[in-house]
A and B are shown apart, each in its own frame.
Chain A
């Protein structure tokens, strides 16, 4: 059998040579401007980098821009596997629709969007009552409140109000008012430090100990002096979710005859405790509590962008902080740090409040508590030390750490990194100062964290642990570095300005405490 082959023609010999062949291949790549495109991926834009530094000179068609942005955003994490954050990631379709329709509404534009403003008032009223706020018959008694972008703004406003009340009192007494201080736990969220720093109030910290992750009421009250503008008590610390004993602080103040105001930071707990532990006294039932903040976008079950702050009565909100704005004949008083903002979230909050009712919220929070209990028990069975409270005595989250063991070659951070590779974001933290660099892991149980998903998490924790136990110290270290660098976004981040890294003025800079994401 022979292969039949053709004898090449002379032309073919000349033109078919490989050396010339290169010139023969007529590349016909389109280099025209696209007036229209086959598909987005056939357009010139798909072959280019998205503009990063300079605005492009010319337009890009909107579907191209849309698709390219959407594709880029697919690199964002999956919110459902993010067990680090308290922030709501699920809302019903109807709620989403309502919120979408309300995008263009500017919340502060009361004259134009009176209903949106009215809806805020209803929410304030409902939330105030939920916190047992005194209800006045006349206008100048009774609780007042406002919506905010989140608990940070709420806390800044509350600190500002407490500072001004204190200052006014000092001025009236003819005493100096240049050294205000505020008493708070060392486990506070970073915005408390910010508020103190930005408004020039000295921080007096109540430190945690290895066994106690919340403030000690006695110690707290002892820190109070004539320059104390107020005490911050946290209803659900971000580390272990434990509720601080507001009642004990309140009673001690009464016993000592002090009149220091208490602000309760109920960012997470404000929508949990009233439903799961209605008898726990932490709110306006206590006489010294003057203001409370809560995040609507945490257990209030709304997408990010809404918080609430309520004051016991208008007297705790100094007149000079409230700006009156006259807009088209409608007088409005405003006490916010932000001005124009979207109305969607407030409308979303109202939707959730009336859609779910107390019964609905209680049902959801009960389920969360059950799931948290289940996860706690399972992790305890795996040999972890559980640091959070169970059965509604704290937030529905599980904080846990590895049992003390000399010869173990891995720590909580290594475990967190391994879970990260499996898609779970379970953060590891170093606890608040004076807890001997206690490390811990934290799982926040949110509305969309079902029992089923909880089981998958437990399986993955067990497997990661097995894997880690089989590795030696050196390879764990190497692997951890690798994961940190390539598998976490923060490891890859380039946006952090070197100048502002490693600051030394905050609790974190000074003590190595890590701030829990909330």
Chain B
């Protein structure tokens, strides 16, 4: 495809492109993604009118810059940055950029420490610890910045999250830090930040290695502070070991794609040699980003959301999302066909892992209950296991015994025909015999829509029960015929020929367990 010799009138091109874009899915029915898709008309209007503004051009757009400073400040406060320290932060394009920046500062601090102790920084070289449920950006950081990724296996016992005891076993003096994820993308569980910090404290006492923590709160950073359930533990700058936190503004920050945030608890954790200064018309700008010129409109909308919704508004929305997620979880479990792997609908008492937070949770709910007295009794998330508004579910064991020929993938496929996008994928490597279906409840998932979803899931499952194996194999075959198109994808061209043959072979053998080969599932 080459650039046309002559152009075409703007309205013609507009219609052509719009028509073509109709083939894209409907953002609202995409339950696979955390990325926000709804904007109120005013937010949309702000976004449009600031479309041409370049966030990097601070001299030209000072108001834009002041909004970004305010957002950073608001987030730092929201995450309990200590007033005695000077928190610094920056807007990013998304959490990926934020994670690269956080990781790089961890690496530089480690290098400086090792150099000051006269130790070798190349052999054996730095490493970083994360759970195998980590999002691809975390692994990318390790690969691109040449840090060994110590990806620790997760288990059912650790809620498919980072296991603090495994951290203890894997940490050494070359560990630049630990990535802890607030809100695993697989099951929505919060990783035990507080416990990990305790373990690292013990390690420091015993061996003298001070290992810092970066909290990847891409999704949870805008959920945990607002939900009555909190995070069930300390997770933010309250913990001295947490040196930086990132969040995606375009997830539960309720902005459209293209905005993330990173905050360091104090300026001293941001090594000076990473900052570049730009002189411009007599003033100076310092910059620590991987991107330079980039749109600034998302920052405006983030600020709009923060002041328009306020703490109360965000709380209402997050509570609604969590309540809807509980409704869906209960509905699914009540069918007897499904079992939820996520825990947000389970009262906190039944959960072994969160004993510490029980008391706090109870007190909190009692207090909140008293405040809400007189108003209509409304159930909050306070009594439930904290987590992201995510429902991960799988076939119940009895169901599997009874209908061994039904594959979970079929549910995903048939729902796709009804416009719902609900991905089915294997849990992280050590647990990848379990496949889960995952629904992300976003702001725009109303109760009414949820009702339709539950009906559709039940109908689809009934349909599967009614059909025998032969019919089902036809469905699968049809879905596979979609794949030839995908082979054209740009990325496959990038892979060597051999690699390609291999991947085709894999596809036939088993569609699910490819994570070991560096294929990452679950998009966020």
Contacts and interface: CB of A to CB of B under 8 A. Distances in A.
B35 interface: yes
Contact of B17 (A54, A98, A360): A98
Interface stretch (A85-93, A242-250, A431-439, A450-458): A85-93
22 contacts: A61-B308, A65-B308, A87-B57, A98-B17, A105-B27, A105-B257, A111-B32, A116-B21, A117-B489, A142-B493, A151-B292, A153-B290, A199-B144, A303-B52, A324-B491, A329-B483, A330-B489, A337-B290, A339-B96, A355-B9, A488-B283, A517-B278
A60 to B, nearest CB: 5
A356 B479 CA distance: 39
B386 interface: no
A482 to B, nearest CB: 12
A62 interface: yes
Given A104-B36, A333-B492, A493-B58, A338 B93 contact: yes
A398 B282 CA distance: 21
Contacts of B293: 87, 150-152, 295, 297, 304-305, 518
B523 A327 contact: yes
Contact of B4 (A51, A54, A358): A358
A345 interface: yes
Contacts, number: 504
Interface string B15-55: 01110110111010010110111111011111111111111
B310 A82 contact: no
B279 interface: yes
A79 B60 contact: yes
Interface string B59-95: 1111111110110011001100000001010001111
Given A56-B310, A66-B46, A413-B282, A193 B300 contact: no
Contacts of B48: 96, 100
B50 A503 contact: no
Interface in B74-129: 74, 77-78, 86, 88, 92-97, 100, 104, 122
A258 interface: no
Contacts of A175: none
B277 A508 contact: yes
Given A65-B304, A323-B518, 19 more contacts: A53-B74, A55-B78, A62-B40, A75-B62, A76-B62, A77-B62, A106-B250, A106-B257, A112-B32, A139-B493, A197-B273, A198-B290, A351-B14, A355-B13, A358-B5, A425-B281, A489-B62, A500-B286, A517-B57
Contact of A359 (B6, B94, B144): B6
A256 interface: no
Interface stretch (A2-10, A121-129, A466-474): A121-129
A76 B64 CA distance: 7
B499 A339 contact: no
Contact of B497 (A61, A139, A197, A355): A139
Contact of A508 (B1, B21, B256, B279): B279
Contact of A331 (B40, B61, B503): B503
B228 to A, nearest CB: 15
B520 A325 contact: yes
Contacts of A82: 57, 60
Interface string A223-246: 000000000000000000000000
Contact of B145 (A64, A70, A199): A199
A500 B267 contact: yes
* Binding site secondary structure of chain A: mixed
A449 B270 CA distance: 41
Interface centre among B291, B307, B421 (most CB of A within 10 A): B291
B59 A488 contact: yes
A140 interface: yes
A484 B282 contact: yes
A373 interface: no
Nearest to A70: B46
B221 to A, nearest CB: 13
Interface string A29-68: 0000000000000000000001111111111111111101
Contacts of B56: 304, 517
Nearest to B483: A329
B69 A495 contact: yes
Interface in B144-203: 144-146
A369 B306 CA distance: 45
B261 interface: no
Interface string B209-252: 00000000000000000000000000000000000000010100
Interface in A396-448: 413, 416-417, 420, 425, 427-428, 430
A413 to B, nearest CB: 7
B388 to A, nearest CB: 16
A63 B308 CA distance: 9
